[in-house]
């Protein structure tokens, strides 16, 4: 843009003085507005995450994904992050994003069994892809091809920017465990009703214990073991008091970790900025796989170094855990509950997701 003062001098040279003064003043005012608008093009977006910034996923978000948004938007977007629940709690954030309390945020579908009813179907698939890229393929395919999922996101007024993943589920027991049979008869904690049912099907006594009380419950013998995501149990030091581990990458953390944006805010931004935000999500997903694998290996190596017992589940145990006969009953139970809760075509949704899940396992 040419300097406004130079434009004024040119106008003075070709127009009568009185008229040119008025016109030039008007043009100068318009240019001032234009310059001010250009200077204010930068927008600050608030990001909310209930987990602390030092974990696998949150560290990646802070160091890679969020800076990538700023980079891919050419600096037109700046991110103000709030980790550790500083802005919104884990059960508030979905509504907080949809209402614009925060512009972006992390939401775990498991905390929203009613609002994200369809998305909680993933709990009914205990065995999953071992590679993060295949998990993302599956979640995106479901979102693209099964209308119930799009409808839930639209109703919540959110757009998915980036799918994260927790490390696979792992068993941490106080007693020696070398196979799935070794959990039989003992009291085991898990974080969802479906995982508790899987524990029951495997012969354990399922026990519901709040996440924050789990360490003490293990320490005091209230429970004999915990089944939860591998990075989570290590971060919370459950393996200090339950140092016998059973692990398998096929025990995936089936529910996607959503990173969302308020749909109204997203759609209000210029196209180049929207494209940059979405590109940042694609780049993050391309990079996260290596972080996922490294985090799994790091937890395992630290546990071995600490003298803990770490055993890979056999293929036979993985099949036994899936327990297809009992799983079919649980999937039918989910369909019945989902229909009662308002998802009229729950049976069709289940069949569609089962078909895509089969494709994901074959990749």
Q: What percent of the chain is helix, strand and coil (3-state, nearest 5)? A: 55, 15, 30
Q: Do residues 360 and 135 make contact, with C-beta atoms less than 8 angstroms apart?
A: yes
pLDDT tens, residue by residue, 80-98 = 999 999 999 999 999 999 9
The answer to whether the beta carbons of residues 197 and 208 sit under 8 Å apart is no
> Which residue's entry shows tokens 């927008």?
43
Beta-carbon contacts of residue 293 (< 8 Å; ≥ 6 apart): 132
What per-residue confidence (pLDDT) applies to 192? 86
320/248 Cα distance (integer angstroms): 13
43-165+256-295 and 169-253+297-362 share one CATH topology? yes
Report the percent of the chain where pLDDT is more than 90: 83
> Domain limits of the chain?
4-32, 43-165+256-295, 169-253+297-362
What is the structure's pLDDT at 232? 87
User: At 215, which helix (H) or strand (E)?
Assistant: helix 214-220
Residue 56 scores a pLDDT above 60 = yes
CATH number for the domain running over 43-165+256-295: 3.40.190.170
332 three-class SS: helix
Fold type of domain 169-253+297-362: D-Maltodextrin-Binding Protein; domain 2 (3.40.190)
Residue burial 80-110, b: 16+ Cβ < 10 Å; e: rest = ebbbeeebbebebbbbbbbeebbbbbbbbbb
Does this model's pTM top 0.95? My answer is no
The yes-or-no verdict on residue 117 having pLDDT over 50 is yes
What is the phi-psi region of residue 307: left when phi exceeds 0, alpha when psi lies from -120 to 50, beta otherwise? left
Q: How far is CA 207 from CA 192, 195, 233, in A?
A: 10, 11, 17
Furthest CA-CA distance within the chain: 99
Structure tokens at 55: 């974990």
**Would the pLDDT of 102 be above 90?**
yes
Contact assessment for residue 168 and residue 251, using Cβ atoms and an 8 Å cutoff: yes
Specify whether the CB–CB gap between 285 and 136 falls below 8 A: yes
Are residues 226 and 213 in contact, defined by beta-carbon separation less than 8 angstroms? no
What's the mean per-residue pLDDT of the chain? 89
């Amino acid at each position: 843009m040419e300097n406004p003062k130079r434009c004024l001098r040119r106008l003075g040279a070709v127009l009568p003085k009185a008229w040119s003064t008025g016109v030039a003043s008007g043009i100068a005012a318009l240019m001032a507005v234009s310059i001010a608008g250009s200077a204010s093009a930068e927008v600050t977006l608030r990001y909310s995450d209930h987990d602390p910034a030092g974990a696998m996923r949150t560290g990646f978000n802070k160091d890679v994904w969020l800076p990538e948004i700023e980079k891919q938007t050419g600096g037109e977007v700046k991110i103000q992050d709030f980790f550790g629940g500083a802005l919104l709690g884990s059960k508030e954030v979905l509504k907080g994003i949809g209402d614009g309390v925060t512009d972006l945020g992390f939401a775990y579908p498991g905390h929203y069994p009613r609002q994200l009813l369809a998305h909680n179907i993933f709990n009914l698939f205990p065995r999953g892809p071992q590679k993060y890229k295949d998990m993302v393929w599956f979640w995106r395919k479901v979102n693209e091809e099964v209308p119930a999922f799009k409808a839930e996101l639209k109703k919540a007024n959110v757009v998915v920017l980036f799918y994260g993943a927790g490390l696979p589920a792992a068993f941490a027991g106080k007693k020696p465990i070398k196979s799935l049979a070794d959990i039989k008869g003992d009291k085991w904690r898990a974080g969802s009703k479906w995982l508790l049912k899987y524990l029951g099907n495997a012969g354990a006594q399922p026990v519901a214990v709040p996440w924050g009380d789990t360490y003490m419950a293990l320490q005091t013998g209230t429970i004999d073991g915990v089944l939860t995501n591998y990075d989570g149990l290590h971060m919370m030091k459950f393996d200090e008091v339950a140092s016998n581990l059973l692990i398998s990458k096929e025990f995936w953390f089936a529910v996607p970790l959503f990173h969302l944006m308020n749909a109204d805010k997203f759609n209000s931004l210029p196209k180049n900025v929207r494209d940059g935000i979405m590109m940042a999500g694609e780049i993050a997903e391309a990079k996260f796989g290596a972080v996922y694998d490294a985090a799994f290996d790091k937890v395992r190596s630290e546990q071995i170094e600490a003298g803990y017992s770490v055993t890979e589940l056999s293929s036979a145990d993985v099949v036994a855990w899936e327990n297809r006969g009992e799983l079919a009953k649980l999937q039918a139970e989910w369909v019945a509950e989902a229909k009662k809760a308002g998802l009229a075509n729950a049976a069709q949704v289940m069949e569609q997701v089962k078909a895509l899940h089969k494709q994901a396992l074959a990749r």
